[in-house]
Amino acid sequence: MTAPSRAPTNRDENWKYANVRALSRLPFEQAADHSATDDPATDPLSVELPTKTMECRLVLVDGRFSAILSDALPNGATLDIQPAATDTTPITTALGLNPVDLHYLHVNQKGRRETLNLRVLAKQCVQVEILHVATRIGQPAINVQLELGAELTLIERHLALGSGAAATNLALAISLAERSTLKLARWQHFVSAASYIETLDLSLGASSQCYLTHITSADRGDTPVSSRSTAFVTHRGQGAALHWNSAVIADGQQQHDSYVRIDHQARRAQTHQLFRGIASGRSKIGFNGHMLVGDGAHGTHSGQSLKTLLTGIEAEANVRPQLEIYTNEVTATHGATVGKLDGDMLFYLLSRGIDQVTAEALLKWAFVSDVLIHLPSVELRHHIEASLVRQLPGAIAAQGSTT
């Protein structure tokens, strides 16, 4: 196990563009000490939860599983809530990591109250929604395991609510056994002020397939929001395939930063990575796509398309594709752009009588639609569209009504 690390700073390569100052002030460690005797969330929340996107929904409130708010799992899956004191699972099995990148995982391990273990049994097909509700401090920990040939459609929603600033530090570990398939849609949805940190550890077995779509957005541009996502993906088995599609829509002074490390350790693995970011106002977006192809990972195929749109005069975007290849017979492509709205497209829409605000919103919508089309749930897509109405007025509702 990697030794616990110091908190990252902007001098650390993979944290250059993260809002580390704000993140380091979050009281995760104090919360762990002082809330040790809290009961799990049992009271219905004072706010109304969003409608479900799947028949089975599991709800966590500030990192703790709520049996009252959750549904029974469908056949083919099991759920085990393990108290933190008995959890001896290694912090990660990924290799060659920079210890500082694991800092918040260590903080989570120390401060988590329990671990949810969701297992999909061999050759079973299951659909589940996990709703994280953040109202104050929470450090959820979730392990998801797909057994041989299992299929899981998992909608994971993070909803920051409440009157105060919520803070979440999530540890999510997912393991796909041979020939299993995961369709994972993740939505970080900020309704109120919040800070969000997560560490995702994803392990892909032979011939497994993972379709991951990740959306980060806030209902309002003036909501103070800061997020950092760290992901370690390991292709462990031959012929595994990862389709990673993520989009960030930021406004105001929001800051979102992601570091995604994808390590190809087995032969003939594939990764298709797409990132789209829109930075408006004075927001900052960072995305670091780090692709490794290890010695012996012959026949690897990887492609990266990272694009960011700057629509605010003081907005910033940093997108970095990184390739490290230590073997032959590899196909690897990458591209990264930071640009503005296309003037020709904008004039075309204006020349059809569409007002400036709607025309710009339409083009922003078109920009992120590359990612949104991969969402495995129409219901979730409608929820996301509805939440984006404030930031992309006119575009979303109209697009949704005609598609």
Partner 1 sequence: MLEINSLQTRIGEREILRGLNLTVKAGEVHAIMGPNGAGKSSLAYTLAGRPGYEVTSGSVRFDGADLLALAPEERAQAGLFLGFQYPVEIPGVNNVYLLKAALNAARKHRGLPEVDAFEFLTLVREKMRLMQMDESFLSRGVNEGFSGGEKKRNEILQMLVLEPKLALLDETDSGLDIDALKVVANGVNSLRSPDRAVVLVTHYQRLLDYIKPDVVHVLARGRIIKTGGPELALELEARGYDWLLADAA
Positions that interact with partner 1 (CB under 8 A): 342-345, 347-356, 358-359, 362-363, 365-367, 369-370, 394, 398-399, 402-403
Q: Could you tell me the smallest distance in angstroms from the CB atom of residue 283 to partner 1?
A: 21
Task: Kindly tell me which of 326 and 347 has the beta carbon lying closer to partner 1.
Answer: 347
Q: Quote the crossing angle between the two packed helices 356-372 and 395-402, to the nearest 10°.
A: 60
Provide the minimum distance between the beta carbon of 183 and partner 1 in the complex, in angstroms, as a whole number.
22
Residue number with CB closer to partner 1 (24 or 356): 356
Looking at beta carbons only, is 333 or 403 nearer to partner 1? 403
Name the residue nearer to partner 1 (CB basis): 4 or 394: 394
CB of 399 to partner 1, least distance (A): 6
Nearer of residues 148 and 346 to partner 1, judged by Cβ:
346
Cα separations (Å) of 229 from 18, 62, 143, 226?
9, 18, 17, 10
Cβ proximity to partner 1, 238 vs 369, nearer residue: 369
What lies within 8 Å, CB to CB, of 240 at 6+ separation is: 176, 204, 205, 206, 207, 208, 209, 210, 266, 269, 270
Which C-beta is closer to partner 1: that of 95 or that of 366?
Answer: 366
Would you say 242 and 212 are in contact if contact means Cβ atoms under 8 Å apart? Answer: yes
Give min distance, CB of 364 to partner 1, in A. 10
In the complex, the smallest distance separating the C-beta of residue 215 from partner 1, rounded to whole angstroms, is 15
Question: In the complex with partner 1, which residue's Cβ is closer, 56 or 349?
Answer: 349
Q: How near is the Cβ of 211 to partner 1 at its closest, in Å?
A: 20
224, 398 contact by CB (below 8 A): no
How distant is the alpha carbon of residue 233 from its chain centre? 13
Tokens standing for residue 316 = 């910033």
Q: What is the smallest separation between the CB atom of 143 and partner 1, expressed in angstroms?
A: 36
Q: Phi/psi at 362 (nearest 5 deg)? A: -60, -40
**Closer of 94 and 368 to partner 1 (Cβ):** 368
Q: Would you say 2 or 358 has its CB closer to partner 1? A: 358
Nearer to partner 1, 25 or 340 (CB): 340
Contacts of 21-28 spanning 24+ positions with Cβ under 8 A:
22/195, 22/226, 22/255, 23/104, 23/195, 23/197, 23/226, 23/228, 26/137, 26/167, 26/169, 26/195, 26/197, 27/137, 27/167, 28/104, 28/107, 28/108, 28/111, 28/137, 28/139, 28/167, 28/169
Of 176, 222, 181, 220, residue with least CA distance to 201: 176
Residue 158, strand partner residues: 132, 188
Q: Give the closest residue to 286 by CA, choosing from 312, 320, 253, 313.
A: 320
Shortest CB 23 distance to partner 1, Å: 33
Q: Considering the complex, what minimum distance in angstroms separates the CB of residue 312 from partner 1?
A: 19
The minimum distance between CB 398 and partner 1, in angstroms, equals 5
With the CA atoms of 378, 380, 385 and 390 taken in that order, what torsion angle do they form, in degrees rounded to the nearest 10?
170
Number of H-type helices and E-type strands within the chain: 7, 20
The two three-digit tokens of residue 110, written as one number: 């120390």
Within 8 A by CB and 6+ apart from 70, the residues are: 57, 58, 59
> Is 368 in a helix, a strand, or coil?
helix
Q: What angle do CA 198, 200, 205 make, to 5 degrees?
A: 175
Minimal distance, residue 374 CB to partner 1, in Å: 13
